[in-house]
Amino acid sequence: MSRGVLSVVGLRIQHAGAGRPALDGLSLAVAAGEVLAVVGESGSGKSTLAQALVGLLPQGATVDGRIRLGSDEVAAGDRQALSRWRGRRIGLAFQDALANLHPMRTAGDQLDEVLARREPGADRASRRAAALRLAREVGLDDAATLLARHPHRLSGGQRQRIGIALALAGRPEVLVADEVTSALDPPRAAAIATLLRRLADTGLGVIAIAHDLDRIGAIADRMVVLRRGAVIETGPAPDLLTRPRSPYLRNLLASRPRLDANPPRLPVAGPDDVLVESASPAASTPKTPGEPVLSVRGLSVRHGDGLALERISFELSPGEVLGVVGPSGCGKSTLARALLCLDQASDGAIAIEGRDLLVATGAALADLRRRIGLVFQDPAASLDPRLPAWRSIAEPLVVAGVGDVAGRRRRALELLGEVGLGPEHADRRPHELSGGQQQRVAIARALALAPAILVCDEAVSALDVGVQAGILNLLRDQCERRGLAVLFISHDLAAVRFVADRVLVLDAGRVVETGPVAEVLSHPRHPASRSLLAATPQPIEAA
């Protein structure tokens, strides 16, 4: 391990009340100028590792092991010593940059605050010059203008670059980047991945924690694969992606949806790392369009002085999945909010099963809104942490006044079975469920009132590869079994290719291309479509 700028030896972390260690004897090293990718499914210990390196583990955790940085070594449980390294010698960039930036302060003010702590003797002018240099270093070309803005006036990619600039403000020797590309559209994710590679090339050690095997694998020098807190496999990234040795990594690679193929099912690892293709109602067959369950005509939504959506039109039939893609800020989430009456339309019409949503009031409006279910991006944030799973699922029934407590519990248990969970999950609270199980509970809740339409707003982007495959299979099953119409909003084009029948490409609030998913993603005509595809990494083929 002598080659590492940062090395970890025998790291073992046991959270209070947990049955097994979050990390169990982990050892790794990252050298100057190297990108080390740390990958694995939810619960594998990736984010626990990030927290441990900067002394941010929750109170009550039992920690053993050593962390060496250069010639200095500390006990892994020495929070005080690690806090002195945090920001100065080890920088940390988070997944959700918006949640980690102060909403009431400009990006420049937040950089200035960090620089003032790092360089107490520097005056305001020199700190501003340093902030501008940092902003340009992370690829913000119009640095002066962007630093004067508040976080909500920056794009997702710009916010992520500000977050990385904050992590670099103390000129650390190592940058820990925890899922910094997963919430971004393909062009912005590609740009951030390229930035990490460029920072490493200047001599920085980079630990890139990710579930995006192809994007991070393409820029990484080495890779560590974690499972249940232990290292399953490690080695040069290209070797692991092309010649995986462990069944676990082979399964992760096989579970990825692809742009160039559309199998009826994605394989998911079962017990003992055996790939299984769970029962499917039928192989995918061409659907015969029926009467549209959702008809959108000339829909416009105004935000401030501009149009967030401009004259959007499409139809959605029972049993059909319509993918909605486009760069950040194109209007995807605004479309979802308009369909749910959370954003007010300034023009156009929305008809659900032939009834006009935009003119309905009172009981008629409430009935129409019950015909649409919604699945959010972050399942943990969308579930009440105090409620057991069955009560979360039954919430819509309570609001609608359907049934009594016993009947609602019976319905919740039925829905748990439909989404692939058992009665043993009914009384678990969100923190007792994995990320994939949380999202299954969220889908069950969205199905509680038997909606005709399901809106999935980035419902798989926060999930790791294996869990994502299970959720995508589940969505396909629900379409087949229920005749459910799904609006699938995503920046993951491979997931859209797998689950959708047709795709709608938005750019600057307008529909720029639409058609069968295979046709649009294989032969894109519009520059926006071509840009999304060009920035989507191609799977590295196993030998």
Domain ranges of the chain: 379-450
- Name the one residue in this structure whose structure tokens are 């294989």: 522
pLDDT digits (tens, 9 = 90+) for 147-182: 999 998 888 888 899 999 999 998 999 999 998 888
- Once rounded to an integer, what is the mean pLDDT over residues 389-416? 94
281 vs 511, more confident = 511
Q: In the prediction, which pLDDT does 382 show?
A: 85
pLDDT average, residue stretch 75-98: 90
pTM: 0.86
What pLDDT score does 152 carry? 87
**Does 502 score more than 70 pLDDT?**
yes
Q: Residue 33, exposed/middle/buried by CB under 10 A (0-12, 13-18, 19+)?
A: middle
Q: What is the pLDDT of residues 18-38, one digit of tens each?
A: 778 999 999 999 999 999 999
Instruction: Look at residue 4 in the predicted model and tell me its pLDDT.
Output: 63
pLDDT band at 1 (very low <50, low <70, confident <90, very high): very low
Amino acid identity of residue 69, one-letter, is: L
Q: What local confidence, expressed as pLDDT, does residue 543 receive?
A: 55
Longest dimension (CA), the chain: 71
Structure tokens at 156: 């997702």
Residue 497 has pLDDT above 60, yes or no: yes
* pLDDT band at residue 283 under the 50/70/90 scheme: very low
User: Among 91-100, 189-198, 384-393, 518-527, which stretch is predicted with the lowest mean pLDDT?
Assistant: 91-100
**Which strands sit side by side in the sheet containing 72-75, from one edge to the other?**
23-30, 6-14, 62-69, 72-75
Lowest mean pLDDT among 50-54, 150-154, 459-463: 459-463
Q: Are the C-beta atoms of residues 42 and 466 closer than 8 Å to each other?
A: no
pLDDT (average), residues 381-406: 92
- Contact between 10 and 64 under an 8 Å Cβ cutoff? The reply is yes
Q: What is the mean pLDDT of residues 340-350?
A: 92
Instruction: List Cβ neighbours of 56 (8 Å cut-off, separation of 6 or more).
Output: 86, 92
Point out the least confidently predicted range of 39-48, 240-249, 303-312: 39-48
> In this structure, are residues 432 and 352 in contact, taking their beta carbons and an 8 Å threshold?
no
Lowest mean pLDDT among 88-102, 256-270, 509-523: 256-270
Dihedral of CA 447/449/455/456: which sign? negative
Nearest to 312 by CA among 79, 169, 513: 513
CB 206 within 8 A of CB 53: no
Say which residue the tokens 């940062």 belong to.
6
More confidently predicted of 378 and 124: 124
Burial class (CB in 10 A: 0-12, 13-18, 19+), 66: middle
Average pLDDT, the chain: 89
pLDDT bin (cut points 50, 70, 90) of residue 293 is very high
* Residue 524 pLDDT exceeds 80: yes
How large is the average pLDDT for residues 320-341?
91
CA torsion angle for 424, 426, 430, 435 (degrees, to 10)?
60
Per-residue pLDDT, averaged over 422-440, amounts to: 87
Q: Residue 472 contacts by C-beta under 8 Å, 6 or more apart in sequence? A: 257, 266, 460, 495, 498, 499
3-state SS, 322-381, equals EEEECCCCCCHHHHHHHHCCCCCEEEEEEEECCEECCCCCHHHHHHHHCCEEEECCCHHH
Per-residue pLDDT tens digits for 255-275: 888 888 778 888 876 544 555
Percent of the chain with pLDDT over 90: 62
> What percentage of the chain reaches a pLDDT higher than 70?
94
| pLDDT of 2 | 40
* DSSP bridge pairs for 178: 209
For 205-257, the pLDDT digits (tens) are 999 998 888 899 999 999 999 998 999 999 999 999 999 999 889 888 888 88
State mean pLDDT over 316-344. Answer: 92
Residue with tokens 């079994």: 481
